[in-house]
Chains A and B, each alone.
Chain A
Amino acid sequence: MAKIHYREIEGNSINYYILLGFFAVIIAIALAATYYMEHNGHHVTGMTNQIVWGVPHVFAVFLIVAASGALNVASIASVFGKTAYKPLAPLSGLVAIALLMGGLSVLVLDLGRPDRLIVAMTNYNFKSIFAWNIFLYNGFLVIVGVYLWMMMEHRMNKYSKAVGFAAFTWRLILTTGTGSIFGFLVARQSYDAAIMAPMFILMSFSFGMAIFILILMGSYAGTGRPLGTAVLSRLKNLLGVFVAAVLLIVAIFHLTNLYATEHHGFEQFILLNGGIYTFLFWGVQILLGSLIPLFLLYSPATRESALWITISCVLVITGGLAQMYGIIIGGQAFPLNMFPGFEVSSSFFDGVVNHYSPSMPEIALGVGGVAIALIMVTIGIKVLRFLPLSLDDAIVDPHYKPATEETAESEATA
């Protein structure tokens, strides 16, 4: 492989500052929304005593899950020794850290008492998977940070494989931990399943890859650096595999639930008569977020086009958010089954499907988390050498030369 030259981006163009300003404005709105919610109390949000985790959690968990997946590219390069991915590894680490920070910020700002963050950092209940997650997240930031250093500091390169392996293992545990937050909730029919953890791992692969591809394409287009088809087609193929894998495990999840009688009520709710949740499942998660992108990523007419790859990534992300919404909010909307065989009613909304409509401040906070992640990447690639000067085909993989007619053809269409 030709030597890869990493270089900070110039970041002096007017567009760069417009981008920064745009993210900053979104973050400012998110902070204002947080202040509004904390000052008045959560009654100004769509959240209630029935739906206790709302849209902020959808974004937070999505970002945290995606963070672990964004590290995939680096893992493939160092753990599995695929040199073609090596030039992308530093960016992959940066995106992972940024997404995690974005997600955690939302999680913290949505607490009833965000001012007590220090309490959460100093009082641990070691039985709580939530407390373990606080450890896992902090550890992830440290390990990926060290990993980046090993990769980017020439004399440390020799350690990067070992640290890369540690980061890989850590992030698998991290996503298992995130999935287990739900898997441990025995009381709720929607979550009580061991498959929750592996499902979250596959979701992380897919969401993280989609976000990574978008950021990669965005930063190369924005800086005018060459990005070859070789890199892109590898990444989009991987994305396709991940999307298919998520589809498969979602199918297994629902099929096993259908097998167990006690879960029939919930399955019927999500799959058939859950209104918005049924629509989000079939319409957004399955059709828009999985089947259509799969088609676009592999169909000869669209698979080489940067535009269609971009659209596919956006669709995968949209589907992923819908999936999170279904898991987090749909799971709470469905009533707890306290008295099997009885029709239940009370002043506390027992026995009814709980109502939730997201409020503007909640959405603003969630989107703010995305902006925090993106502004970190935008600044990161300016101050440090995350991006290779060129990701031209010849540089990334000399063997990618159009040797056969078939590849020559696809080169031409690109």
Chain B
Amino acid sequence: MSQTDDHTNNDQVDNGHVNNDHVNNYRRKFLGQLAAVTATGALGSGLVLNNFAQARPADEAVSSNVRYGLLIDTSKCGNGCDACVKACNDENGLQGFDRPETDAQWIRTVKLRDKSTNRTVSLPMMCQHCEFPPCVDVCPTGASFKRADGIVLVDKHLCIGCRYCMMACPYKARSFIHEELTGQVQGIPRGKGTVESCTLCVHRVDKGETPACVEACAKDGHKALIFGDLKDASSEIALRISKEASMQVRGDLKLNPGVRYQGI
């Protein structure tokens, strides 16, 4: 396996900054064009990129001026819809072996029924990209790590498969790879005997794109998922969180997840 994207990023943490204020709105409007722009940008100058999007050139460090997160509006979440789950599986090549107990699931639909009122809610659940991630605290080798921009990842070269992070995660966000994998997607390092979880589509985010689940949800017309920079006061996600009620799952644990929910 070659050097992974996430590891490269880890090595570069805190080496520099990306100036991306005010860029978010712009980016949303031109999402369609972005793939092309960033592809060119990744090869060429970082300056161009910064002007158009918050994409980060490969030689520039992940910035701690950014904190990526998701806002999930469960009232918009379509009943029985699993577009986000499908998109994640396709994007990251999680085809599974038809063994639900051991197959990897980075994102899943959770159905809730309020025991007192019978109201039902359906929501996507994935790694919450905690600010104080217990998985990172317990990991003996440091394979679990948090990037400066808040994305929590597993370095597949350091993971020894002890599964302590799975014991520690309050959201059951992680999967252990129980068997040999074939036909993996290039650039998404995975392997038998190691642990993995939602990467917030770091490979897309670094190109200035949104995670696959967010894109799929928007394409289906639900727009239940919003991705963005929580630290950028002008971003849609930050604006909505500052105006509307939202909550963190198991907020009592004070892990400050980057994923927020509405309508639970």
- A188–B179 contact, CB under 8 A? no
The verdict on B221 contacting chain A, using a C-beta distance below 8 Å, is no
- B162–A185 contact, CB under 8 A? no
Interchain CA distance A116-B161 in the complex, whole Å: 9
Interchain CA distance A185-B164 in the complex, whole Å: 9
Min C-beta distance of B157 to chain A, whole Å = 8
- Known pairs A50-B172, A184-B168 / 7 extra A-B pairs, C-beta < 8 Å: A48-B178, A112-B161, A112-B163, A128-B138, A128-B139, A339-B112, A347-B100
- B176–A125 contact, CB under 8 A? no
In the complex, the chain B residue whose C-beta lies closest to that of A186 is B253
Interface residues of B in 234-264 (CB under 8 A from A): 249-250, 253, 264
The verdict on B29 contacting chain A, using a C-beta distance below 8 Å, is no
Main secondary structure of the interface of B (DSSP, over half): loop
With A53-B163, A112-B162, A342-B112: A48-B102 Cβ-Cβ less than 8 Å: yes
Interface residues of A in 47-65 (CB under 8 A from B): 47-50, 52-53
- A112–B193 contact, CB under 8 A? yes
The verdict on A42 contacting chain B, using a C-beta distance below 8 Å, is yes
Interchain CA distance A53-B167 in the complex, whole Å: 8
The verdict on A119 contacting chain B, using a C-beta distance below 8 Å, is yes
The verdict on A123 contacting chain B, using a C-beta distance below 8 Å, is yes
With A50-B101, A52-B167: A41-B192 Cβ-Cβ less than 8 Å: yes
Interchain CA distance A49-B105 in the complex, whole Å: 9
Interchain CA distance A349-B166 in the complex, whole Å: 14
The verdict on B201 contacting chain A, using a C-beta distance below 8 Å, is no
The verdict on B159 contacting chain A, using a C-beta distance below 8 Å, is yes
- A43–B179 contact, CB under 8 A? yes
11 A-B pairs with C-beta separation under 8 A: A41-B192, A50-B172, A112-B163, A114-B160, A116-B161, A131-B140, A186-B134, A186-B253, A187-B134, A338-B170, A341-B114
- A43–B138 contact, CB under 8 A? no
- A350–B160 contact, CB under 8 A? no
Residues on A with C-beta less than 8 A from B162 are 111-112, 120, 130
Interchain CA distance A185-B121 in the complex, whole Å: 28
Q: How many residues of B are in contact with the other chain, CB < 8 A? A: 58
How many Cβ-Cβ contacts under 8 Å join chain A to chain B?
A: 173
Interface residues of A in 331-360 (CB under 8 A from B): 332, 336, 338-339, 341-350, 355
In the complex, the chain B residue whose C-beta lies closest to that of A41 is B179
The verdict on B95 contacting chain A, using a C-beta distance below 8 Å, is no
From B97, B137, B172, A348 is in contact (CB under 8 Å) with B172
Residues on A with C-beta less than 8 A from B105 are 49, 347-348
Interchain CA distance A130-B159 in the complex, whole Å: 13
Residues on B with C-beta less than 8 A from A124 are 140-142
Interchain CA distance A184-B105 in the complex, whole Å: 25
In the complex, the chain B residue whose C-beta lies closest to that of A116 is B160
- A119–B141 contact, CB under 8 A? yes
In the complex, the chain A residue whose C-beta lies closest to that of B155 is A123
The verdict on B219 contacting chain A, using a C-beta distance below 8 Å, is no
With A112-B194, A113-B159: A187-B179 Cβ-Cβ less than 8 Å: no
Interface residues of A in 168-188 (CB under 8 A from B): 181, 184-188
- B110–A49 contact, CB under 8 A? no
Min C-beta distance of B22 to chain A, whole Å = 36
The verdict on A38 contacting chain B, using a C-beta distance below 8 Å, is yes
Interchain CA distance A296-B62 in the complex, whole Å: 65
Residues on B with C-beta less than 8 A from A38 are 193
Interface residues of A in 386-405 (CB under 8 A from B): none
The verdict on A142 contacting chain B, using a C-beta distance below 8 Å, is no
